[in-house]
Structures are given as structure tokens and as C-alpha cells.
Amino acid sequence: MKFRLTIAVKIIFGFGFLTATYIVNAVLTSNTLNKSIAVNREITEIYNPTAQGLTQLEDVLKETKMLIKSWVFVDKKKDTPDKRRLQEIHETVFPELNERLVMLSESVYWDDEDRIQYNQITVAVSDSLFPLHQDIMSQLVDFGDYDDAMKMFLIIPSVDEEGEIIKMTESLVVRLDKLVTKYQTISENARKKMDGSFTNFQKYVLYASIILIFLAVIISVLTIRTLSKPVNVIKDILLAMAKGVFPDKEIKVGTDEIGQMSAALNKLIHGLKEISNFSVEVGKGNFSSSFQPLSENDNLGNSLLEMRGELKKAAEEEEKRKVEDANRNWATQGVAKFADILRKNNDNMERLAYNVISNLVKYMDANQGGLFLINNNDENAVFIELVACYAFNRRKYLQKKIELKEGLVGRCVQEGETIYMTDIPIDYIHITSGLGDDNPRGLLLVPLLLNEEVYGVIEVASFKEIESYQIEFVEKIGESIASTISAVKINLRTTLLLEQSQQQAEEMKAQEEEMRQNLEELRATQEQSSRREQELKKALNEIQSQKKKNE
């Protein structure tokens, strides 16, 4: 079988070669970066901390030499900052520093000789140098013989000979200095190695990028030459189709993949023409237009059929939404309208009731309505009273008194719930018009509720059935009406009480005036009686005097 180099094979070969080259480049790059990262980790986690720790230990030993001299020669007091510092080095500084260096020495980057060397230094410090410090500190704590201590541990002034502590300290410092120098050199060499590796890596990335770009250009040129002519034909057709223009002739079909694409494109064009015709019919609103998808798996064709169903459903829902919006706007405007009515007519109950029921009947396009209020002026004789009635654009003057548990109105008051009926009892209510006298088709009774207290009932009758949104509207404004009625009742009761109070005040004022006049008359009478009494006493005295004279 003759091997045919298809377009897929060409593309797979070209991109496979580029992919393999990229993978090799990625592996080399990753190895280089990993090595650099490892070297950097050695520097930052081992070499630099080791050199720094050893340097700190060297500085600490030098500091102990100065502190022990200060202890012997200068500070004769028991407690000084230098003495406390030396003790701190013994108890805290050296153990912590040694612990850190021991952890570093356990890494694979320390050789055995360095571990042995460091161990010997720390053993000398712990077992020899520090015990000498402790001896001299204990001997001098009570201000003992400084000459013996200086001869033993420090310097003999007469012969200028170094003592044991100085010699041991300087020896340890020299050994530590060698270790410090070694690890500083290792760190510097590793850093230079890493810098050189990064420089080589930069060159490698540059050369690899150039090679990859060159290979990509060559593969792209070969691919374009192989595919350009037939693809350009398909491209021109697709560009024309992108502008909505279908080709007049079918595309020539070959035997390779592009030929298969041409055959598929011819079939697609035919299907798109049918889709175009179908879309025009659907756009005209002809949702019954027939259309056959190219196959069971024709996503576009099946989607168009679903679209037709969704558009039909959307049209129906849009119509329903318009109705709901209109109903909602109607209710919103009605709430505002009746809020204004309630605000303007809140000082007269009769005028308020008539304006409410007349405007409600008109706004609902109903035929008749009545407003019933609970009359509780006499607590012993509470009843429901029809305070306003309106029908067919004219005011009705009816006197109607209903007991609390009587009829549908009484039931509405007792239950405190809306009653809507389409099957209305015979002779319950009649609507009289120029066309005759007939029973309504819809009867609505809504309680006027405020804080679970019923103030009255609105009754609306209509030849048409009352819609649910109208019922909700009446229920919504019912609370506002109840609130206003409550306020009007309170205002009227307050006004009546105020008038009664004023009348009582005037009566009391008149009674006070009358009492004042009576008191003045009584006082005048008392004064007159007093004068008469004085005159009588005077006359009696004169009589008695005259009688005595006559005797």
C-alpha cells in the first residue's frame, strides 16, 4: 500500500519535531536551573551560615579574653556589666551558637576533618577554657590575691610572659580563623560557579530560541505552501459567506482532507440556504413553517427548531408580561391616587367615604360599590353601617344598618378576610342600569384591617369578573383606608371632646360668676345683719341705762 502524506501527517511531523525540540530544551533548562538552585541553597543554607557562625564564635572567644582581663585588672566589684556579659557568654551565647554550628556540621557539605577540627575546638572551650574562667572568677569574687591569678592565667608583668588563658584563647581563635577562611572561600567559589552557570544558561537560551524560531519559520513556510491554494479558495467562499453571500457554484472536491472539507462546505452551504429561508419565515411570525435538520445530530438545525419553540413561548410570555406590567402600573398609580384622596379628605368622614368608594368603583371599572364602617359610638349597641354607596356614575343615598354577624358583610368583619364570589346568591345584590336589572358576575368584599383590627368593609360588584390583581390592589389600599378612618375617628372624637370640654368650661365659668354674685349678696346681707345687730345692742344698752336711771 502506497503511503500518502496527508495534511495531518505533515502537521503532526512539523509540530512533533518542534514539540520534541521544546521538550529537550525544557529538560536542559530545568537541569541547569535545578543545579543553580542547589548551589544557591548550599551557599545560603550551609556555607554562609557556617562562615557567619564561626566568625561569631571567633568574636565571642576574643570578647572573653577582653572580659577576663577586665575581671582581673579593672573591675574589683562583685557585679559589673563585663562580669555579667562573661557569665552570659558561658550560660547562653556559646551554647546557642554551638548548637547552631553543630546542626550545620551534620550536613553532607562539611567534611570529616572539619567536623573533627570544630569538635576539638568546642571541647577545648567547654572543658578547658571556660573552666579556667570559672576558676579565676571564683577565686577573685571575694577580692583575693590578684598576683597569683595573673601569674597563673594571664600575664606575669615582671617577665612579660603570657598566661594559660591567653595562650589557649589565641590558639582557638587561630584555628577558628582557618575554618572561617575556608568556608568563606568555598562560598565565594560556589557563587562564582553559579554566576558562570547563569551566564552560560543565558547564552544557551538565546541560541536555543534562535534555533526554535528558525525551525518554526521553515515548518510554517512548508505548511503554507502545501495548503495555501485550496485554502484560499475556501477562504474566499467563507469571506463571502461572512458577508451573507452564498456562492453560485459548488466547490471542486478533491481526494485529500481539503477535498473532504470542500464537500462538507458544499453541504453546509445548502443547509444554510434552507436555514435562511426558515429564519425568514420565523421572523415573519410564521411559527408553523416546516424545516428539516441535516441530521439527527444537526446542532444548528435542532437549535433553530428549539429557537422557534422558544420564540413562540417568548412571544406568549412577552404578551403576558405586558399584561402584568400594565396591571402592576395600574395598581401603583391607584395606590398613589388613593393616597392623595385620603390625604385631602381626612377631616370629614362622610365626604371621605364617598370619595373613596366612588373613585374606587370608577378606577376598577366596576358597576357598584359600598363602604361599610363599624359604628361603635355606643359600646352596648355596636353595628355595621353603610356610610357611602355609589353606582353607575351617581351617588346613592341608602340607609343600611347591618348586625355584626349578619350576611356576607358581617362574615367579612368577623373573619377579617377577603371574600370574592362569582356564584352570588339570588337577591343578595342587584345592579340597576339603563339596560335593566341583573345580578353581578363578580362580588368582592375586603375588610379594612389595621393592626388586626377591622374598621369596616369595602364591597364592590361588577358585571365582569374581578381580576386577582384588582383584588390585591383593593386589599393593599384597604390598610391605608383603615388607617385614615382610624385617624379621622380619633380626630372627630378629639374635636367632640374638645367642644364638650369648652362647653363645660363655659358652664363652670357661668356657675362661678353666679356663685360669686351670691357670695357678694350674702356678704352684703351679713354686713347688714351685723349693722342691725350693733344697732340693736346699742338700743338695748340705752334702754338698760335708762332703766337704771329711772330706778
Radius of gyration of the chain measured on its C-alpha atoms = 59
What percent of the chain clears pLDDT 70, i.e. is strictly above it? 75
How would you class 8 by CB atoms within 10 Å of its CB: exposed for 0-12, middle for 13-18, buried for 19 or more? exposed
For the stretch 97-117, pLDDT in tens is 888 888 877 777 788 887 888
What would the mean pLDDT of 18-33 be, rounded to a whole number?
74
8 Å CB contact between 252 and 262: yes
Q: Which of 359, 383, 358, 360 is nearest to 373 (CA)?
A: 383
Highest mean pLDDT (candidates 105-109, 237-241, 256-260, 374-378): 374-378
User: Residue 2: pLDDT band by 50, 70, 90 thresholds?
Assistant: very low
What would the mean pLDDT of 504-526 be, rounded to a whole number?
77
Whole-number average pLDDT of the chain: 75
Q: Which of 46, 64, 50, 45 is nearest to 118 (CA)?
A: 50
What percent of the chain clears pLDDT 90, i.e. is strictly above it? 2
Residue 458: strand pairing partners: 371, 446
Higher pLDDT, 126 or 276: 126
Assign residue 144 a region: left if phi > 0, alpha if psi is -120 to 50, beta otherwise?
beta
pLDDT tops 70 at residue 118: yes
**DSSP secondary-structure letter at 281?**
H
Question: Which range is least confidently modeled, 6-20, 156-170, 385-399, 531-545?
Answer: 156-170
Question: What is the fold, at CATH topology level, of the domain defined by 347-499?
Answer: Beta-Lactamase (3.30.450)
Largest pairwise CA distance in the chain: 193
* Residue 74, pLDDT score: 57
Q: What's the rounded Cα separation, in Å, for the pair 551 and 543?
A: 12
8 Å CB contact between 384 and 404: yes
* Residue 427, pLDDT score: 62
How would you class 524 by CB atoms within 10 Å of its CB: exposed for 0-12, middle for 13-18, buried for 19 or more? exposed
Q: Which of 447, 424, 440, 276 is nearest to 374 (CA)?
A: 447
What would the mean pLDDT of 289-317 be, rounded to a whole number?
71
Query: Within the chain, which residue ranges are assigned CATH 1.20.120.1730?
Result: 7-215
**DSSP secondary-structure letter at 64?**
H
Is the pTM for the entire model greater than 0.75? no
Q: What's the rounded Cα separation, in Å, for the pair 524 and 83?
A: 119
**DSSP secondary-structure letter at 406?**
S
Question: What is the fold, at CATH topology level, of the domain defined by 7-215?
Answer: Four Helix Bundle (Hemerythrin (Met), subunit A) (1.20.120)
What would the mean pLDDT of 273-286 be, rounded to a whole number?
69
8 Å CB contact between 105 and 122: no
C-alpha cell at 383: 353595628
Query: Within the chain, which residue ranges are assigned CATH 3.30.450.40?
Result: 347-499
User: Residue 436: pLDDT band by 50, 70, 90 thresholds?
Assistant: very low
Higher pLDDT, 266 or 447: 447
